Amino acid sequence: MTIITHLFVFLLLITPWEALAAGFDCTKAGTKLEKLICKDLELSAADDRVSLLFKEALKKSTDRDMLLQTQREWLKRRNAFIDREALLKIYNDRVIELQEPVWVPVRSVTSTCPQFLKRNDIDDISKCQVSESGRIGTEGNKTYLYTLYCIVPAESGETGNCTPDSYYGKRGLSVYVQDGPSQPLKLFLDRGSSDIGLREYEKPELLRNQFGKILYVPIRLDGTGNFNESDYYIWDEGAKRWSYLDSNRWLDDLEKYLPRGTHVLSGVWPDLKSMTAEVLLYRKNDPNCCPSGGTAFVTLSIEKGRFNIRSVKVTKDVK
């Protein structure tokens, strides 16, 4: 199994690209991240794929120094995460960056369902078609567009209509960037899963708050908990790129602020403009519908690539 890791100790012994693409024996994995990748087949496969694509990209590159620098920056971002789902998304985005660009003629953005299924290894379906597409917004000279896919699994026994409001109407998402008027669209990110009924996607948003420009990709884990698995990116003005934000660890940090005997059970959806969140608190045996532990009002910041807690105020249930 190949693990892409930046081992500076070898830089005097091997070339820079070898250090960036070198693997190590999983029996000697030391960090939490290395152990997580080694024991997870999907992460391991994603790591192997990025390693292979990086080596292939180096062979073809006309600017090796720039490619090496972007790989170092990507490794630094990746190494800041230990959440499995976040890592899978980071690997997926790096795969798209390293592959030959997927160019889509401007007028054919609504006819990309077969390509989407192939890119995301989704099969055994009875129907796939675009259910919605359009413009997200513009930053500088770049315009961002999106496509939502209706994907109906074969096992469902349905053919169903594929409007955005139908059950399977928002089971895949692509985001494209256009560098100027009349230019072809370049694939920016894909979000899709073979567990077709598990995640629902919405139109992404471009917005600005006190911490900078944010690209918000809403992803909802289907079910009564209304869990938030969204992607959040912040624009890095120096590097001129979007950086992935860790939006999960602040919820772990929140535990130390909560009254004894309460916990978070359902999804939390921060307001990105005010950078606040209202978190419903549950007590043991509370049904999903009816939390009785009060509400935590949280003020958030964005620092060092993640959401952080600035303040917490807990109000108790009046009952």
Q: Does the structure show a pLDDT above 90 at 225?
A: no
CA nearest 262: which of 292, 236, 282? 282
Tell me what pLDDT residue 110 has.
62
Q: Distance between CA atoms of 36 and 84, rounded to whole angstroms?
A: 8
pLDDT tens, residue by residue, 257-281: 999 999 999 999 999 999 999 999 9
Question: Do 22 and 7 touch, CB atoms closer than 8 A?
Answer: yes
- Check pLDDT > 80 for residue 111: no
Give the integer Cα–Cα distance in Å for 272 and 25: 42
Query: Quick one: how far is CA 91 from the chain centroid?
Result: 9
The conformation of residue 183, written as its DSSP 8-state character, comes to P
pLDDT digits (tens, 9 = 90+) for 44-97: 888 889 999 999 999 988 888 989 999 998 998 899 898 898 999 999 999 999
pLDDT tier, 102 (very low <50, low <70, confident <90, very high otherwise): confident
Q: Residue 282: pLDDT above 90?
A: yes
pTM: 0.85
**Looking at the DSSP assignment, which residues form a beta bridge with residue 139?**
142
Neighbours of 187 (CB within 10 A): 20
Identify the helix (H) or strand (E) that includes residue 38: helix 32-39
